[in-house]
Structure 1
């Protein structure tokens, strides 16, 4: 089934219900929302020849037009390729080329840079009269027929090979993940509001579907992003808001609430995940704001839907194992089956540590145009997550390591090899190794160890400019260590554990998300 039918159903059942809002301003009810999505779908076909199965990108920050574009693409039977608006235009261009996208919806601030990076790609400006004309087009009353196995969302997640991989998320995957939300994460009522402070291109965007099916409101803050004061001020006026937030954002929000003497009035639920949440931080959050928090664990390959720690479990201080459970990522969500295995695939008993495996109807169909990576990730129906953890006797999952060395800064994943390859493009760099260093505000920040070419002196300012020209600002190193050599084992492999030990305990140098 085409998941866009959920929008059609809500428009039919509650046409006058408020749907799209910027702050407190209602921009469209459900009838208008569906009409616009249908019009965009018709225009994609008539003007650009977009057919079911084609890919269409979205490269812009949070705004209500994002949802119009997403549902318009799905209504047409095409697959959306949402791209993190913080990415460098060259990175976005590579993704769109790999996805073989036929077009891309952009905003005024992303249109020019992307046009220069991807000449020849058809760009559709959401700030233009063309967009207003598209969404006013007379379209089909029902979305294009699609099967559960048809591609709906092509999510690009960087891998340790340095190039992003396209995660193929089908309509069936989205439906399964969405149905888990009201069972395992949070109930949704028409009076509730999905609040888009986190990027729509990622987890927060995936939560749009269940809120659409329930006829709830979709609210984009006027800033389009995360501003703790804005969230705390808007929440009581909107009421019933639910939002996804990385632990670093939760920390900032709680700190500001405490400073202002607020308790988070109007915030129904904060779903946190995407990075480790320190026990002291979540305990403080509950003390300041009360039982508003739910933890989830998932990956792009199993979108937001591996395990969950419910609101009641997060807040239940009376339970004898409360702190132990609070340090976990909860129990398997309703559509997920979790196992722990050693490197041979042998299943390990409760309490033993190994790689986390998951299977269920939410697990991706595979990696786009990358059968080798698909075969490595999915074996005998199980997704090998690359994360290491253990299950206790009650089914609570605790993460113990990240086998892929991912650096998580401000809730965004940064993969060391991707940064290392950019550093190695510089003529003066002979070797490079990138690790994460703990940062008080952003979780982690990127630190680069670089070895200069013989006889050359490295200018770290020039190296920083080199990175900014090639990768997103949030990925660039925040500190450069020029060293004579990198520590290596007998096989020539860089010992990143030694590098981490060297920087362990050092204070962060600045905002890693800048």
Structure 2
């Protein structure tokens, strides 16, 4: 459709409407799929001085009739493929004009194309521009219309359509640019972006229905420059095979705006990696009371923010209406430049106003402002779960869930709880390859333990093939709450299916372990600290700890907000090695360990690969060591960029001498300290003091134990000062130097040698003897604390450690 055709057809429709003697300024409802006639209807209604009310194509006939009845619409334009809804609407008395779009016939409706035929395109020089009466999504109750008075002086230009001027100034929209809208036009944001493009004279490309590959094809075919998406669309496009994703030329695309729902960090990073730094956050509401934008550069510096609203027009308030300082979470209020009311609902209108100053309005969103005025959303107040008197924001839990590499999508809702009032239910859609993964729930729980306080954890995690969302990408909260209530009433074995998926998993329930876990993760000002947390066994690593460490490293790699990584150990020691009790307590582990093929796969997956990921992280890594750093602990320490050790630290590895195995730690340690020191530690089972480890090249600084944290803080401050990209490029160059020296081949060769040594008769006999002693709770490895390293440097001042758990 050309602009000439749009101007003529919308003028004809405006003349038809004005000739129908409809009440002045009354709403005209639109129920159409995405098609050119949608814009004819929109502009024709406005040019006739009426109000546009859009109807979702997902509504039932009765739901559509409720909106048409509630707004007292005088006319309706319906697609012929919605015959059932059209018939229901025809029963409404105050609908005086009924037009149909399409090839079919609908009883009681006149075909719009026929109605416009022969009608004049002449319009007054000054048209009285109408307005919108759009309805809220109604996820927490009956939808309500957003009513504003019609401005008698309004005209069709960017001054009236404020989003057009924003589109031009914020997103750099120019004459000749092309906008792609893959979302349904009945949603406020896609419709308004399309209209803004019309006002600015650009080209609008609309998908009839979102199709992941079709969107990529449209970008290439129409040389799209601007687009708007919801995060679910990003997920669907990222799920396309790599060869499909890279088959289309997307180089014309300069701006990709996402809105409607917060975009999970991992999803956005994957999109930026694919499309480049062109993604913008847009925060707003159908009520159009305030907005914020976050450009790609700002997002890289402030991940999680939705932008910086005009500081004169936004404030965060507590329940009493008192303004909160930066960093405090509360209700988000905007100063309303264009006053509105909820049509026919004075109570809801009153609730949206600030208790002391009605010029300030809220839609119920909850969030905080940082010290620089950037806005961070917590949730919609009506979605907040109150459990045991404590507010839990579903968005926070959803972000933690979707941040897991196995999770594609997640929505969190509350369900009635007889003890706490409400409890948390999470609906989780896994990535397709992990849908049947028996470790999925356990892995998810591990991430939640590391990232969320215990009271925020879901009491029930429901795995579904697809999270129910509206076509606009918003969670179908009403449907999910209904499902959650059914889950709460049914035993796990009888829980209902969701969209044809598997029955519910068992409820998560409560566990004393939710307070902590084998891995703790702390984020502070760009520094992430991963702490081994089994102090009762000097942080000996069991399989659960290794799994959670692996997941934690994956999260660091995907999170651009992390500038420095610190590895530490809780309690008196950093790490005493691998926990040999895995073999006695974990039947699957022992079974895999007993066979050459499965042992190789298991050790590579949980012992070697996580350390390799740590070694290849692009950001600087630091190891904080106190007490014992033995066996596997050496491997982690040697894989970091800097090691800060307390004077009490002891380094060593008894595996070759007492287990008969060419230990896995050799490549990382030997690459750092050289052959001579490696032979002393591995062949002679020497223990190195912190100072000897510094002389060997493993430790960077040795400080009194009480000064460990102050030295660490000094180092971190220096690293955060370094230009990020330059530092990353430098680390990449140094890694290339290591590759030129053959370190990668060394690692590969040694891993095979390590596997062969496990399979020797000698190692088998030693292992059987060690396991027998372990079963009797005897020490597996002889006490070595009193041994010195190299003739006189005593290690007896270090903390005591029972090495029966160290491999």
Q: Given the two structures, how large is their TM-score scaled by the length of structure 1?
A: 0.70
Match of 1:106 in 2: 78
Match of 1:166 in 2: 145
Match of 1:331 in 2: 308
Give the Cα separation in 2 of the matches to 1:171 and 1:415: 39
Unaligned runs of 5+ in 1: 1-27, 421-431, 443-471, 487-498, 506-514
Shift of 1:182: 2.3
Does the alignment pair 1:301 with 2:287?
yes
Contact 2:27 2:52 in 1 (8 A): yes
Deviations 1:93-119 (CA, angstroms, capped at 9, x unpaired):
100000100111111111333313551
Trace 1:389-408 onto structure 2 (pairs within 5 A): 389-405=367-383
Match of 1:451 in 2: none
Contact 2:178 2:225 in 1 (8 A): yes
1:390 is paired with a residue whose SS is strand
Deviations 1:440-489 (CA, angstroms, capped at 9, x unpaired):
589xxxxxxxxxxxxxxxxxxxxxxxxxxxxx996645956354599xxx
Worse-matched range after superposition: 390-399 or 69-78: 390-399
Give the Cα separation in 1 of the matches to 2:67 and 2:269: 40
Shift of 1:256: 2.6
Contact 2:183 2:209 in 1 (8 A): yes
Match of 1:45 in 2: 18
Contact 2:317 2:331 in 1 (8 A): yes
- The match for 1:348 among 304, 320, 324 is 324
Structure number with larger C-alpha Rg: 2
Trace 1:125-204 onto structure 2 (pairs within 5 A): 125-127=100-102, 130-136=111-117, 137-142=119-124, 145-146=127-128, 152-159=131-138, 162-169=141-148, 175-184=161-170, 186-202=171-187, 203-204=189-190
Unaligned runs of 5+ in 2: 104-109, 152-158, 385-393, 399-410, 417-421, 433-473, 492-505, 515-807
Give the Cα separation in 1 of the matches to 2:507 and 2:135: 28
Trace 1:356-367 onto structure 2 (pairs within 5 A): 356-361=332-337, 363-367=338-342
Larger RCO of the pair (alpha carbons < 8 Å, separation 6+): 1
Trace 1:436-455 onto structure 2 (pairs within 5 A): 437-440=427-430
Give the Cα separation in 2 of the matches to 1:106 and 1:85: 10
Give the Cα separation in 2 of the matches to 1:339 and 1:245: 28
Contact 2:218 2:224 in 1 (8 A): no
1:235 is paired with a residue whose SS is helix
Match of 2:531 in 1: none
Match of 1:281 in 2: 267
1:500 and 1:329, CA in 2 relative to 1: closer, same or farther beyond 3 A? farther
1:438 and 1:382, CA in 2 relative to 1: closer, same or farther beyond 3 A? farther
Contact 1:196 1:225 in 2 (8 A): no
Deviations 1:143-196 (CA, angstroms, capped at 9, x unpaired):
76447xxx6111111457621111125667962343223233x12223122222
1:124 and 1:144, CA in 2 relative to 1: closer, same or farther beyond 3 A? farther
1:140 and 1:373, CA in 2 relative to 1: closer, same or farther beyond 3 A? farther
Does the alignment pair 1:95 with 2:67?
yes
Shift of 1:91: 0.7
Give the Cα separation in 1 of the matches to 2:430 and 2:178: 30
Trace 1:485-504 onto structure 2 (pairs within 5 A): none
Q: Given the two structures, how large is their TM-score scaled by the length of structure 2?
A: 0.45
Deviations 1:494-514 (CA, angstroms, capped at 9, x unpaired):
xxxxx99769x9xxxxxxxxx
Match of 2:350 in 1: 375
Trace 1:440-479 onto structure 2 (pairs within 5 A): 440=430, 476-477=479-480, 479=483
1:326 is paired with a residue whose SS is coil
1:157 and 1:382, CA in 2 relative to 1: closer, same or farther beyond 3 A? same
Contact 2:180 2:219 in 1 (8 A): no
Shift of 1:415: 12
Higher helix share: 2
Give the Cα separation in 2 of the matches to 1:500 and 1:83: 38
Give the Cα separation in 1 of the matches to 2:126 and 2:371: 46
2:251 is paired with a residue whose SS is coil
Match of 1:218 in 2: 204
Shift of 1:333: 5.7
1:142 and 1:227, CA in 2 relative to 1: closer, same or farther beyond 3 A? farther
2:136 is paired with a residue whose SS is strand
Match of 1:82 in 2: 54
Match of 1:8 in 2: none
